[in-house]
C-alpha cells in the first residue's frame, strides 16, 4: 500500500509516502534484498565494463560504440534510480519516501527509460545505414551527426520526463491508500494517479496514451529497419557473417519487444484495487530486464569489446578463459 503522511491540516497536502513492504516476514525481506542486490550488481558491472572499455580504447571511438556507451550510461542510471532505495528500505525495514524523493524518482526513471528507448531506435538506424548503405555511412553517421543525435535523445527524454512528472503531481492527492504491494519497488505513475481527486489526472492519462502511440511508432520503425537489415544480410555469402548479424539483431528485437509491450501494458491497462502478481512481474520486466540484458546482447558478445576489456584488465594472456567467461 501507499499511505500518505500529512504534516499539515490540509487533507490534500502530501509530505511523503509509505511504500508497501514486500512481505512482513523478515526472511523474505532478506531474500528480496539479496535478489535485488544480485540484479543490481550484475547490471552495474556489465554497464560499467562497457563504459570503461569504450572510453579508454581509442579503437572503439566509432559511432556504434559511442551509442553503446551512451546506452550503458542510461541503463546504469535507470537501475540506480530505483534499486538502491528499494534495497535500503528493505534492509532497514522502513518504507518511507519523501514527496520530493518520489517526484525525483519518477522524473529520473522516466528520463532514463525514455532515453534508453529512443537510443535503441537511433542504434537501429545506425545499423541500417552501416549494412544497407555502407558507402554513405561515413557521410551520414559522422561525428557531428552522432553528437546531434545523442544530444537530441537526452534533451527530448528529459523533457518527456518533466512532462510526465508534471502531469502526475499537478493534481492534488486526497486518498491515502493504494492496494498494490509492488509499489515498494518505486513510485509508479498508474498507482499515483489513483490517489488524485481532481480531473487534472486526465491530462496525464492523455500523455500516457500519446507516449504509447509514439512508442509503437518507434517499434514499427525498428521492425522495418531490421527487415531491411535481415534482407541485406541474407545476401551475404559468408555463413559466419549472416550468423553474426542474426545473433545480434534477433535478441535486440526480442528485448526491445518485451520492453515496449510490458511497459505499454503496465501503463495502459486499468489499475486493480487488489494486489496483482502480474503487475509486479510487468514492473520488474520493463524496469530491470533491459539494463541487465543490453550489455550481454550488444557488447559482451562483441569481440572488440572483449579484447578491449582484456587490455583494460591486464588479462591478455588469459584471453580464451576470460572470453568464455563473458559469453
**Structural domains of the chain in order of their starting residue, each with its CATH number:** 27-77+109-174+200-326 (1.20.1070.10)
Report residue 94: phi and psi, to 5°.
-130, 155
pLDDT of residue 122: 92
pLDDT tens digits along 268-289: 666 555 555 666 666 777 777 7
Cβ neighbours of residue 40 closer than 8 Å, sequence gap 6 or more: 79, 83, 84, 87
pLDDT tens digits along 154-188: 999 999 889 888 877 777 666 544 444 444 455 66
pLDDT of residue 17: 59
Spans of the chain, pLDDT less than 50: 1-14, 176-184, 317, 319, 321-323, 325-327
pLDDT tens digits along 222-240: 889 988 888 888 877 777 6
Query: Which three cell numbers mark 316?
Result: 591478455
Q: Is the Cβ–Cβ distance between 46 and 73 less than 8 Å?
A: no
Q: CB under 8 Å, gap of 24 or more: what pairs does 38-44 form?
A: 39/79, 39/83, 39/288, 39/292, 40/79, 40/83, 40/84, 40/87, 42/292, 43/75, 43/76, 43/79, 43/288, 43/291, 43/292, 43/295, 44/76, 44/79, 44/80
pLDDT of residue 147: 93
Query: Which three cell numbers mark 322?
Result: 576470460
Q: Is the pTM of this model over 0.85?
A: no
Question: Residue written as cell 545505414?
Answer: 129
Element (H, E) at 126: helix 99-132
pLDDT of residue 158: 93
Q: Is the Cβ–Cβ distance between 190 and 183 less than 8 Å?
A: no
Element (H, E) at 319: helix 319-326
pLDDT tens digits along 39-51: 899 999 989 988 9
Return d(Cα 157, Cα 110) in angstroms, integer: 8
Mean pLDDT of the chain, nearest integer = 75
Amino acid at each position: 500500500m501507499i499511505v500518505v503522511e500529512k504534516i499539515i491540516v490540509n487533507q490534500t497536502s502530501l509530505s511523503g509516502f509509505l511504500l508497501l513492504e514486500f512481505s512482513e516476514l523478515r526472511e523474505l525481506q532478506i531474500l528480496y534484498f539479496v535478489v535485488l542486490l544480485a540484479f543490481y550488481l550484475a547490471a552495474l558491472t556489465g554497464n560499467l565494463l562497457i563504459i570503461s572499455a569504450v572510453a579508454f580504447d581509442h579503437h572503439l571511438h566509432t559511432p556504434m560504440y559511442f551509442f553503446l556507451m551512451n546506452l550503458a550510461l542510461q541503463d546504469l542510471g535507470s537501475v540506480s534510480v530505483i534499486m538502491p532505495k528499494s534495497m535500503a528500505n528493505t534492509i532497514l525495514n522502513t518504507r518511507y519516501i519523501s514527496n520530493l524523493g518520489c517526484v525525483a524518482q519518477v522524473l529520473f526513471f522516466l528520463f532514463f527509460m525514455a532515453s534508453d528507448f529512443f537510443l535503441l531506435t537511433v542504434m537501429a538506424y545506425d545499423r541500417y545505414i552501416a549494412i544497407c548503405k555502407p558507402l554513405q555511412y561515413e557521410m551520414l553517421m559522422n561525428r557531428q551527426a552522432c553528437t546531434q543525435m545523442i544530444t537530441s535523445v537526452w534533451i527530448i527524454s528529459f523533457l518527456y520526463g518533466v512532462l510526465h512528472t508534471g502531469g502526475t503531481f499537478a493534481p492534488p492527492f486526497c486518498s491515502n491508500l493504494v492496494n498494490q504491494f509492488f509499489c515498494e519497488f518505486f513510485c509508479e505513475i498508474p498507482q499515483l494517479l489513483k490517489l488524485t481527486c481532481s480531473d487534472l489526472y486526465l491530462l496525464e492519462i492523455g500523455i500516457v496514451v500519446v507516449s504509447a502511440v509514439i512508442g509503437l511508432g518507434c517499434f514499427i520503425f525498428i521492425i522495418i529497419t531490421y527487415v531491411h537489415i535481415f534482407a541485406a544480410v541474407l545476401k551475404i555469402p559468408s555463413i559466419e557473417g549472416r550468423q553474426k548479424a542474426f545473433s545480434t539483431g534477433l535478441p535486440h528485437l526480442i528485448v526491445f519487444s518485451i520492453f515496449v509491450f510490458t511497459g505499454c501494458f503496465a501503463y495502459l491497462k486499468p489499475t486493480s484495487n487488489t494486489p496483482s502478481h502480474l503487475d509486479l512481474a510487468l514492473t520488474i520486466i520493463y524496469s530491470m530486464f533491459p539494463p541487465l540484458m543490453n550489455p550481454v546482447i550488444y557488447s559482451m558478445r562483441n569481440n572488440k569489446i572483449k579484447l578491449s576489456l582484456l587490455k583494460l584488465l591486464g588479462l591478455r594472456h588469459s584471453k580464451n578463459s576470460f572470453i568464455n567467461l563473458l559469453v
